[in-house]
């Protein structure tokens, strides 16, 4: 079963192989096209998904269909990368949420990752780790604060 594009009247019908593109990917690509076209989804998610695009303005239908297929590839790649980086994103979110938690409940995976990050040498040639207030503290601000206190 191949991905196909068929023009009928003022619409383009795309036949999409669900073994190549997950339904979530098809929804994401469809969402991008809501401003350009009316989007109709049909078919069997196990065998074939039909996407009908009826443009809201005069546009080359073959080009519209080709752009939709490109969006499918874009979101399929995004979904793959999201799966690959899911664990690190979860750990980073956990770190952000538990940073101010006095109990500091963490998982062993989180502790191992943090230990690994802390063991790495950090080359701060751009002084990124210096707090903004310290890096850009001006003398006139200090004088103004002293005057306000008096």
Domain ranges of the chain: 4-84, 85-122
CATH topology of domain 4-84: Gyrase A; domain 2 (3.30.1360)
Q: What is the pTM of this model?
A: 0.60
How large a percentage of the chain has pLDDT more than 90? Answer: 50
The predicted-structure confidence for 111-150, as pLDDT tens digits, reads as follows: 676 666 655 555 666 666 667 677 777 655 556 666 666 5
Closest listed residue to residue 36, CA positions, set 9, 5, 61: 61
């Amino acid at each position: 079963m191949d991905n196909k594009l068929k023009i009928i009247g003022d619409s383009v019908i795309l036949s999409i192989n669900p073994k190549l593109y997950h339904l979530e990917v098809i929804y994401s690509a469809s969402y991008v096209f809501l401003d350009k076209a009316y989007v109709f989804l049909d078919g069997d998610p196990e065998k074939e998904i039909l996407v009908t695009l009826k443009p809201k303005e005069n546009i080359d239908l073959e080009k519209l269909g080709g752009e939709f297929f490109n969006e499918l590839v874009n979101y399929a790649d995004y979904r793959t990368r999201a799966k690959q980086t899911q664990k690190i994103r979860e750990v980073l979110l956990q770190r952000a949420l538990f940073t101010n938690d006095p109990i500091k409940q963490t998982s062993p995976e989180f502790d191992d990752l943090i230990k690994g990050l802390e063991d790495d040498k950090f080359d701060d040639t751009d002084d990124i780790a210096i707090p903004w207030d310290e890096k850009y503290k001006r003398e006139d601000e200090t004088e103004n604060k002293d005057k306000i206190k008096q």
